Structure 1
Amino acid sequence: MDFTVEYEPSPGEVVRALEQALKHQLKALIWLFPAFLVVFGAVFLLLGNIGIGLGMLVAAIVVPFVIPWSLRRAARKQVPFICVPTTLHVTDEGYESRSEKLTTQARWSLFSRVVVTPEFWLFFANKQATGFLPRKAFTPAQQAQLDARLAPLTNPSA
């Protein structure tokens, strides 16, 4: 496998990729934090501390809405650096992304896990989101080659 493509991601595409990657990275936090707030809110209510108990229960309701909003906000900050004409060079060893503003290079061995979505390959190293490649930047044949190369990393054992 050795191919090079020219691509310019759209702002919406970048926001969706980063949001999806962060949701995978923070999956436990997104579920555990509201549960924590409910449990301790109930404890405070039982102990008679109504203000703190109600505050925690309200926060448990609000947090699931605030987290996706904050993820989108954080992702939008990256848009100016990523939404530029980019050259992607992909080989059996890894990939390089080169633009006027940023050049990154990574070997496939860096990644502990790859999440495949209909739109992206999302890359993780030690449970941390580290990058993505947009599927539509590649031809169907190139996508198939990438899917085959990344298949060992797509089974989430981490």
Structure 2
Amino acid sequence: MDFTLTYHPTPDEVGRALQHGVGRQLRAVRVALPAVLAASGLACLLLGTVGLGAGLLAGAVAFPPVLTGVIRRTARRQLGYLCVPTTLHVTGDGYSMSTEQSTSAVKWSLFSDVVATPEFWLFFVNRQFAGFLPRRAFDPAQQTALDALFAPQPTPASR
């Protein structure tokens, strides 16, 4: 595998990729924190601390949309750097990405997980969202090659 292509990410596309990636990274927090806040709020209400209990319950309800807003605001700050014409050179070892402002290269072995979605390949390093490639930038043959590269390898026990 060795191909080079140029594409221009759109703000909506970058926003969706960041929302998917960061949302996946923060999935446990998105579920656990509201559950802890709700349980603590109920406990406070049962103990007669109505103000604190109501505040904790309100926090449990408000946390998910606030987190989504923070992710979107962070994404908007990155758009100027990410939504520019980009040239990708993809090989079996990794990829390099260059714009007028920057050039970077990454080996596939850096990523501990690659999640394929209908729109993107999302890259993670130790459960932290590290980047993405949009499927639309690649022709069908290139997408098939990348899907095969990122497909989970069977473990010796499952063969």
Normalised by the length of structure 2, the TM-score is 0.93
Identity over aligned pairs, percent: 53
In structure 2, the gaps of 5 or more residues are: 154-159
Pair 1:79-2:74 in alignment:
no
Q: Which segment drifts farther, 56-65 or 126-135?
A: 56-65
Find the aligned partners of 1:10 and 1:30 in 2 and give their Cα distance: 27
CA drift of 1:102 comes to: 2.2
Q: 1 CA distance for matches of 2:75 and 2:116?
A: 19
| Structure 1 counterpart of 2:94, one-letter code | G
> More deviation in 136-145 or 70-79?
70-79
Aligned Cα root-mean-square deviation (Å):
1.0
**Is this contact kept in 2: 1:81–1:102, CA < 8 A?**
no
| 2:27 aligned partner | 27
Partner residue in 1 for 2:11: 11
Q: C-alpha distance in 1, partners of 2:23/2:145?
A: 26
1:31-50 equivalence runs, <5 A? 31-50=31-50
Quote the Cα distance in structure 1 between the aligned partners of 2:103 and 2:132.
14
Aligned 8 A contact 1:15 1:76 in 2: yes
Q: Does the 8 Å contact 1:17/1:120 carry over to 2? A: yes
Q: How many angstroms apart in 2 are the aligned matches of 1:20 and 1:10? A: 15
2:151 alignment partner, SS class: helix
SS of residue in 1 equivalent to 2:152: helix
Counterparts of 1:15 and 1:132 in 2: how far apart (Å)?
Answer: 11
1:7 is displaced (CA, Å) by: 0.6
| Match of residue 94 from structure 2 | 94
1:132 alignment counterpart: 132
Residue 5 of structure 1 and its aligned partner are, at CA, apart by 0.3
Q: How many residues align?
A: 153
Q: State TM-score, norm by structure 1.
A: 0.94
C-alpha deviation, 1:72, in angstroms = 1.0
